[in-house]
C-alpha cells in the first residue's frame, strides 16, 4: 500500500534524530524510530545512543509504555532479528503490540537481517524502502562497510598551492590554518579509526586524538591505528592512555583494512604520509579525499602523495569534486575540497 504522508513525515523525523550529535560511531549504525497512533499523531520517539544502549525501537517503546499497542513504528533501519548486547527488536515490537512497521533501509548485515520476514510471520504489516537513500546517507560508512566487507576510507591531507605537504627541511607544522585544523577534528570525529604509518609516528609523534576547539580531548575517541613493520618507540604519544591504539604489522593496505573490519570498524580516516597515501591509492582503496589547500607556496619539499607509477597525463587519477568550502577568514583562510572517485 506504500507509506502514508504521515509515515513519510515521521520517517524524516526519525532520520533527523538518528543523526543526533554526540552519538558515538561504530560498530552499530545510527537509527531513529517514531511511533505513530492510528490518526497519524506521534506517540513517542527514540534513537540508538551507541553500542550497548537500547536500540531505537526499544527506546521509543519504553517512552510510549502501554500506548505503544496498536501503533505504527517508523524506523530508519529494518528491525534486527538477533540477540547481541541487546535483545532482538522484532521481539520487542511484537510483544508491545505494534500493528505496523515502516522502515527505510534494509539491514544488509547477515547477523541481524531477517527482521521484516519475522515481523510479517508474527502478523504485523510491514512496509520497507521508505526514504531508503536518505537513510543510507545517514549511515554511509556503515552501509559501505557491510556491502564491501571493508571500512570506508577517507584520505585527508593538507597541501600548499604547489602540492607540498612539507618543506625541504621536513617541517610540516603548520601548512593548514588553525580553523582548518579545527575543521579536521570535527571530521575526524565522524570516523572510528585514525590510521597513519610508523614513519609518521616516528617523525611527527602525533596524538591522533579528536580534540575540541579549545584543544581538549573529546569523550569518545576513534581507534588509533599505526600501520607498518617497525616497532613503535615506547615514548611516542600515540601509546598514551588518551585513546586505544593498535599496531597493524603489515604494509599491505588490504590486510590493514581486513584487520580493522574484523574489529567492527567502518570508517578509516587516513592521515599517513605520502608513501602510505600512495599505497592506498595504488590499491584502489581510497574512497574519499579531503584536502585542505593553503594559499601558500613552498617550491620544494615533500609531495602530498608519493609515486603512483603514472607517467603520462592520459593515465592521471581523476577525482570528482563533491564539495568545496572556504574554512576560516582572511590570512587564516584555507580551501577544503571533498572529492570522490569518478564512476
Same domain, 68 and 161: no
The helix/strand/coil state of 239 is helix
CATH code of the domain containing 122: 3.40.140.10
Same domain, 197 and 325: yes
Same domain, 135 and 156: no
Question: 57, 78, 271, 288: which one is catalytic?
Answer: 57
* Integer-rounded Cα radius of gyration of the chain: 23
Per the structure, the complete domain to which residue 30 belongs is given by 5-145
Distances (CA, A) of 281 to 73, 223, 276, 310: 43, 22, 9, 12
Same domain, 125 and 265: no
pLDDT value, residue 167 = 84
pLDDT value, residue 213 = 85
pLDDT value, residue 51 = 73
Domain end residue (candidates: 92, 110, 145):
145
CATH code of the domain containing 274: 3.40.430.10
Whole-angstrom distance, CA of residue 343 vs CA of residue 333: 31
pLDDT value, residue 222 = 93
pLDDT value, residue 83 = 66
Grid cell, residue 224, equals 588509533
Same domain, 166 and 298: yes
User: pTM here?
Assistant: 0.88
The answer to whether 206 touches 188, Cβ cutoff 8 Å, is: no
Same domain, 105 and 200: no
In sign, the C-alpha dihedral spanning 274, 173, 233, 264 is: negative
Mean pLDDT of successive 10-residue segments in the chain (343 residues)? 91 94 75 95 91 88 95 95 76 95 88 83 94 93 92 95 86 85 92 94 92 87 95 95 96 97 94 92 95 92 88 91 94 93 72
DSSP 40: S
Specify the number of domains making up the chain.
Answer: 2
**Element of type H or E holding 199:** helix 198-204
Residue holding cell 515502516?
Answer: 102
Same domain, 106 and 230: no
Catalytic (active site) residue 57: yes
CA 319 to chain centre: 20
Same domain, 82 and 226: no
DSSP 303: B
pLDDT value, residue 53 = 81
Amino acid at each position: 500500500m506504500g507509506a502514508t504522508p504521515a509515515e513519510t513525515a515521521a520517517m524524516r523525523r526519525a532520520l533527523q534524530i538518528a543523526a543526533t550529535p554526540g552519538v558515538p560511531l561504530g560498530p552499530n549504525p545510527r537509527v531513529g524510530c517514531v511511533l505513530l497512533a492510528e490518526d497519524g499523531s506521534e506517540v513517542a520517539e527514540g534513537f540508538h545512543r551507541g553500542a550497548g544502549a537500547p536500540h531505537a525501537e526499544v527506546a521509543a517503546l519504553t517512552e510510549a509504555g502501554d500506548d505503544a499497542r496498536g501503533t505504527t513504528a517508523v524506523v530508519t533501519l529494518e528491525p534486527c532479528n538477533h540477540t547481541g548486547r541487546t535483545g532482538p527488536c522484532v521481539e520487542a515490537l511484537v510483544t508491545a503490540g505494534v500493528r505496523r512497521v515502516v522502515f527505510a533501509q534494509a539491514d544488509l548485515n547477515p547477523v541481524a537481517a531477517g527482521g521484516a520476514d519475522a515481523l510479517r510471520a508474527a502478523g504485523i504489516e510491514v512496509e520497507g524502502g521508505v526514504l531508503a537513500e536518505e537513510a543510507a546517507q545517514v549511515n554511509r560508512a556503515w552501509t559501505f562497510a557491510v556491502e564491501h566487507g571493508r571500512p570506508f576510507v577517507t584520505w585527508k591531507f593538507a597541501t600548499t598551492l604547489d602540492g607540498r605537504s612539507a618543506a625541504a627541511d621536513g617541517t610540516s607544522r603548520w601548512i593548514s590554518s588553525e580553523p582548518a585544523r579545527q575543521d579536521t577534528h570535527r571530521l575526524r570525529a565522524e570516523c572510528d579509526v585514525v590510521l597513519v604509518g610508523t614513519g609518521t609516528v616516528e617523525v611527527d609523534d602525533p596524538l591522533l586524538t579528536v580534540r575540541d576547539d579549545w584543544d581538549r580531548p573529546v569523550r569518545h575517541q576513534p581507534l588509533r591505528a599505526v600501520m607498518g613493520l617497525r616497532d613503535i618507540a615506547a615514548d611516542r604519544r600515540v601509546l598514551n592512555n588518551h585513546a586505544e591504539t593498535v599496531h597493524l604489522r603489515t604494509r599491505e593496505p588490504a590486510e590493514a583494512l581486513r584487520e580493522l573490519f574484523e574489529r567492527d570498524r567502518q570508517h578509516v580516516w587516513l592521515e599517513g604520509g605520502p608513501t602510505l597515501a600512495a599505497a592506498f591509492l595504488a590499491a584502489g582503496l581510497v574512497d574519499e579525499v579531503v584536502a585542505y589547500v593553503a594559499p601558500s607556496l613552498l617550491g620544494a619539499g615533500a609531495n602530498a602523495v608519493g609515486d603512483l607509477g603514472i607517467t603520462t597525463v592520459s593515465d592521471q587519477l581523476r577525482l570528482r569534486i563533491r564539495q568545496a568550502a572556504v574554512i576560516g577568514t582572511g590570512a587564516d583562510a584555507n580551501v577544503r575540497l571533498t572529492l570522490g572517485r569518478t564512476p
